[in-house]
Amino acid sequence: MAANNSGDPIQQQEEPGEGGGGGGPGVKHKAEGATSSAAQPSGTTMLPRSSSRPQLDLSGAAIHGTLEDRNPTILLPNQSDDISHLALDIGGSLIKLVYFSRHAEHSTEDKRKVSTKRRLGLFNGGRRSYPILGGRLHFVKFETGKLNECLDFISSKQLHRGGVDSPSWRSGAQPDDIVIKATGGGAYKYADLFKERLGVSLEKEDEMDCLVAGANFLLKAIRHEAFTHMDGQKEYVQIDQNDLFPFLLVNVGSGVSIIKVDGHGKFQRVSGTNVGGGTYWGLGRLMTQCKSFDELLELSQRGDNSTIDMLVGDIYGGLDYSKIGLSASTIASSFGKTISDNKELSDYRPEDISLSLLRMISYNIGQISYLNALRYGLKRIFFGGFFIRGHAYTMDTISFAVNFWSKGEAQAMFLRHEGFLGALGAFMSYEKHGLDDLRIHHLVERFPMGAPYLVQISWMEKFVQKGTQITAPVPMGAPATTGMGGFERPTSKGEILRSDASAALNVGVLHLVPTLDVFPLLEDPKTYEPNTIELDQDEFKYWFKILSDHSPDLVDKAVASEGGTDDAKRRGDAFAHAFSAHLARLMEEPAAYGKFGLANLLELREECLREFQFVDAYISIKQRENEASLAVLPDLLMELDSMNEIDDFDGFKKRMLTDKKDQPYKRALLFVDNSGADVVLGMLPLARELLRHGTEVVLVANSLPALNDVTANELPEIVAEASKHCGILRKAAEAGGLIVDAMAGIQDDLKDEPASVPLMVVENGCGSPCIDFRQVSSELAAAAKDADLLILEGMGRSLHTNLNARFKCDTLKLAMVKNQRLAEKLFNGNIYDCICKFEPVS
């Protein structure tokens, strides 16, 4: 009875089958009567609290657990789910905003969940048990010169009052006492303006403190935050937390701060330079008449600096100065050539000026950074600040300088949230939001598009426009520059500078999902990699085509799932734009969003659907297939019962039926896949066999819909229906608390049968066709503790991801390979071959 995938809507060769990546569901908390009062009732434990607003409602707060616990759970029973925090970094050039929003959904704890949680020892009486709030961290920036736009944005989203849904907003509270954390010089300079325009006070946080806190947080909590960039190649670096300090942090904003970081809150600003981002942008603007920073940067990409810079060869008559290791093409003196020419500024190409400037400043920063690293014996230098702007050539130039001067001893690294260090640090300084308790597995990064426009009525129209802009990026050739020997030319080729609108795509929204856990049965979480095949450019091209080709069909389904209304059609269009913009972005640079595998790509598609409010595109297809399959289930069960044994899975069969026939598995986790025949005629009969052998069965299903995958919410009803045809399933489902209400009214003709082992359902924490075992629901993590058999079924969970994953217990991986290329690549096989991998632990 191998995995039956016939219910999958994606059956042809040129289709993705299942895929996706670990992802988190919305955090589900009960919305409890929120009050805006923050009074501490006597007798409750006092918590440190910020005087700043928006605040968490701490009334009734209590430490949950023993006082000896290092990180005791904090219950905030009266906290509304909608709270937001906002923090600002108002720099010389840009204002950076970081704000937090709660997930909108308020889920109820259904009977299935309550009974499963009780069984798994997770039940807590319906009270929130997480020390941190689930929600999202958003990153936005504005030009400091356009402060008004920033104030309008804050005001339109009511961020200073804790979001439009916050209690203070609803109760019409005056914002007089609202305090927002802010860092950067503008926290001082613009304090009055904020008071005047928004009625809020800015609570100043030290800029260096914030930069360090932000960098430390990112390096601790985000999986692919840091990367190297050499010769056009970006490589993500996984930082070992035990081997992070000391490092040099170089923040290249308007000016440059150079900080030696020794630990959390332990640092010293060792140097700085006034030649920084403001210098490049300021001088560049004066000399080229550019209207924006991006325009200036884009010019540099077509520049040739040898018309402006004086090279060693210019001085030495075309010769190298080899005695001191300088080749003829090394820049001897930036802008030096302009002294001897009898030319005016207008005689030089703006492109060449921009490139000369960029190289001059980047090399200078690289060199000063290196000298400071040398001074303190530091090997790692992290560069932040918006001067970097994710620009390959800038990073290559800085890396080259560090590498050249240190003779390879020191390494330049860059941060994906480069310009947001200070703002994040200011955000961290709210005393109790629990952010510092976050671990890597609590954070899921998503790349929504259109989110900034959600507040606007016409956001969709704007989005469609923007989407088109983003998909038509400005191509860039490699600059023909000079500088062999001393400074060899950095080689970022084919680089594209995206408009600022799409630059926002480089940093996603961070979803904080405190219910996520590492799957406890992973053999080695440190080396675990969910993706089976790396998505290099070639592989990406293939999947790009498949996903693009499938997109119209998916849009049709999604629109139909929402009744085909005009609104659904508009959202369908917007989804198609957004998704193709993401694909186009990834096509240029597969590593644009961090290390990205097929699982992430497929999950991105699901996320994109959700972004445009398509809750479950396959809902009616799933229902139809479930019904059709349930109708033939009795015949199948009869046929199976007339057979001697389940058909052969070789090793598995041997384990089940021969070697340890008398020692059944204690608990099996069955990771189910598609609705319809797959789950009804495949996995349920398999579950039934296991139950018959005395094995507890936990069906593990998606938390959120993805393609036609069955969800944990849908399963109890399917199981209840199937149970009508089968006593084993019924007894087990009753024992597992799965059918209480659903079965009411059906006469009990099985009273005399022996008590059954339970059949349960848990959600996996994902909304994707794949699974990343580093981030699963706490419910699944709890169920895993007593499990001694895992069954991963379907392409997404056992092929695209986890084919090579090793677990601490016996594992069976089942899938039909519904893709010719994959079948050839992985097994030298053919489309529709089935795989059955049994991996017993020795």
Ligand X SMILES: Nc1ncnc2c1ncn2[C@@H]1O[C@H](COP(=O)(O)OP(=O)(O)O)[C@@H](O)[C@H]1O
Q: Which residues bind Mn ion (CB under 5 A)?
A: 91, 253
* Integer Cα distance of 228 and 132 in angstroms: 32
Determine if residue 429 is left, alpha or beta; phi over 0 gives left, psi from -120 to 50 gives alpha, anything else beta. alpha
**387 contacts which partner out of ligand X, Mn ion, ligand PAZ, none, CB within 5 to 8 A by kind?**
ligand X
**DSSP H/E element including 312:** helix 312-315
Segment contacting ligand PAZ by CB under 6 A, of 31-39, 145-153, 268-276, 516-524: 268-276
**685 contacts which partner out of ligand PAZ, Mn ion, ligand X, none, CB within 5 to 8 A by kind?**
none
Sort 565 into a burial class: Cβ within 10 Å, 0-12 / 13-18 / 19+. exposed
Binding residue (CB under 6 A) for ligand X from 93, 201, 306, 811: 93
- The number of C-alpha atoms within 13 Å of 611 and in the hemisphere containing its C-beta is 27
* Integer Cα distance of 815 and 3 in angstroms: 6
* Integer Cα distance of 616 and 758 in angstroms: 29
Closer CB to Mn ion, residue 143 or residue 833? 143
Binding residue (CB under 6 A) for ligand X from 335, 382, 386, 544: 386
The DSSP result for 603-665, as a single string, is HHHHHHHHHTT-S-TTHHHHHHHHHHHHHHHHHHHHHHHHSSSPPP-THHHIIIIIITTTS--
Closest distance to ligand X from the beta carbon of 419 (Å) = 4
* Integer Cα distance of 133 and 819 in angstroms: 41
* Integer Cα distance of 636 and 816 in angstroms: 20
Residue ranges in 409-448 that form contacts with ligand X under rule CB under 6 A: 419
**534 contacts which partner out of ligand PAZ, ligand X, Mn ion, none, CB within 5 to 8 A by kind?**
none
* Integer Cα distance of 368 and 398 in angstroms: 10
Name the token pair of 694. 């005395």
Closest distance to ligand X from the beta carbon of 149 (Å) = 12
Site string for ligand PAZ, 92-111 (x = CB under 6 A): x-------------------
Closer CB to ligand PAZ, residue 274 or residue 340? 274
Closest distance to ligand X from the beta carbon of 145 (Å) = 8
**274 contacts which partner out of ligand PAZ, ligand X, Mn ion, none, CB within 5 to 8 A by kind?**
ligand PAZ
Closest distance to ligand PAZ from the beta carbon of 390 (Å) = 17
- Name the one residue in this structure whose structure tokens are 């884009």: 298
387 touches ligand X by CB under 6 A: yes
Site string for ligand X, 114-153 (x = CB under 6 A): -----------------------------x----------
| Alpha carbon separation from 273 to 258, 269, 276 (Å, rounded) | 8, 12, 7
- The number of C-alpha atoms within 13 Å of 50 and in the hemisphere containing its C-beta is 22
Closest distance to ligand X from the beta carbon of 490 (Å) = 18
Closer CB to ligand X, residue 278 or residue 682? 278
What residues does 226 pair with on adjacent strands? 237, 415
Pick from 478, 238, 281: which is nearest to 386 by CA? 281
**DSSP H/E element including 422:** helix 421-428
**273 contacts which partner out of Mn ion, ligand PAZ, ligand X, none, CB within 5 to 8 A by kind?**
ligand PAZ
Segment contacting ligand X by CB under 6 A, of 148-156, 169-177, 381-389, 448-456: 381-389
Amino acid at 8: D
Residue ranges in 150-209 that form contacts with ligand PAZ under rule CB under 6 A: 184-185, 207
595 touches ligand X by CB under 6 A: no
254 touches ligand X by CB under 6 A: yes
Binding residue (CB under 6 A) for ligand PAZ from 52, 257, 327, 506: 257
424 touches ligand PAZ by CB under 6 A: no
Closest distance to ligand X from the beta carbon of 186 (Å) = 8
Number of residues that bind ligand X (CB under 6 A): 19
Chain centroid, CA 240 distance in Å: 19
Closer CB to ligand PAZ, residue 79 or residue 257? 257
Site string for ligand PAZ, 65-94 (x = CB under 6 A): --------------------------xx--
389 touches ligand X by CB under 6 A: yes
* Largest Cα span, the chain: 106
Site string for ligand X, 155-184 (x = CB under 6 A): -----------------------------x
| Alpha carbon separation from 775 to 21, 406, 527, 594 (Å, rounded) | 10, 39, 14, 17
* Integer Cα distance of 782 and 787 in angstroms: 10
**175 contacts which partner out of Mn ion, ligand PAZ, ligand X, none, CB within 5 to 8 A by kind?**
none
Helix/strand/coil for 577: helix
399 touches ligand PAZ by CB under 6 A: no
| Alpha carbon separation from 381 to 226, 264, 268, 404, 423 (Å, rounded) | 11, 17, 14, 14, 20
256 touches ligand PAZ by CB under 6 A: yes
**280 contacts which partner out of Mn ion, ligand PAZ, ligand X, none, CB within 5 to 8 A by kind?**
ligand X
Segment contacting ligand X by CB under 6 A, of 277-285, 340-348, 475-483, 775-783: 277-285
**419 contacts which partner out of ligand PAZ, Mn ion, ligand X, none, CB within 5 to 8 A by kind?**
ligand X
Contact call for residues 117 and 779 (beta carbons, < 8 A): yes
Binding residue (CB under 6 A) for ligand X from 217, 293, 382, 430: 293
390 touches ligand X by CB under 6 A: no
Number of residues written out for the chain: 842
> Which single residue brings its beta carbon nearest to ligand X?
91
Binding residue (CB under 6 A) for ligand PAZ from 162, 253, 508, 676: 253
Segment contacting ligand PAZ by CB under 6 A, of 60-68, 248-256, 580-588, 748-756: 248-256
End-to-end CA distance of the chain: 25
Binding residue (CB under 6 A) for ligand PAZ from 79, 101, 201, 273: 273
| CB atoms near residue 438 (< 10 Å) | 21
Closer CB to Mn ion, residue 19 or residue 253? 253
Pick from 65, 34, 365: which is nearest to 167 by CA? 34
* Integer Cα distance of 457 and 449 in angstroms: 16
Binding residue (CB under 6 A) for ligand PAZ from 255, 303, 350, 483: 255
* Integer Cα distance of 311 and 326 in angstroms: 10
Closer CB to ligand X, residue 3 or residue 358? 358
Contact call for residues 475 and 419 (beta carbons, < 8 A): no
Pick from 383, 375, 463: which is nearest to 417 by CA? 383
Label the pairing between strands 256-263 and 266-273. Answer: antiparallel
Closest distance to ligand X from the beta carbon of 204 (Å) = 15
Closer CB to ligand X, residue 118 or residue 146? 146
Name the token pair of 743. 């079965």
Pick from 772, 839, 822: which is nearest to 801 by CA? 772
Taking the CA atoms of residue 43, residue 48, residue 52 and residue 54 in that order, the dihedral angle to the nearest 10 degrees is -60
Binding residue (CB under 6 A) for ligand PAZ from 80, 115, 183, 254: 254
**143 contacts which partner out of ligand X, Mn ion, ligand PAZ, none, CB within 5 to 8 A by kind?**
ligand X
253 touches ligand X by CB under 6 A: yes
Going 715 to 716 to 721 to 725, the CA torsion angle's sign is positive
Closest distance to ligand X from the beta carbon of 389 (Å) = 5
**DSSP H/E element including 202:** strand 201-204
Binding residue (CB under 6 A) for ligand PAZ from 274, 658, 747, 828: 274
Residues at the contact surface with ligand X, assessed by CB under 6 A: 91-94, 143, 184, 253-254, 277-278, 280-281, 293, 385-387, 389, 419, 500
Residues at the contact surface with ligand PAZ, assessed by CB under 6 A: 91-92, 184-185, 207, 253-257, 272-274
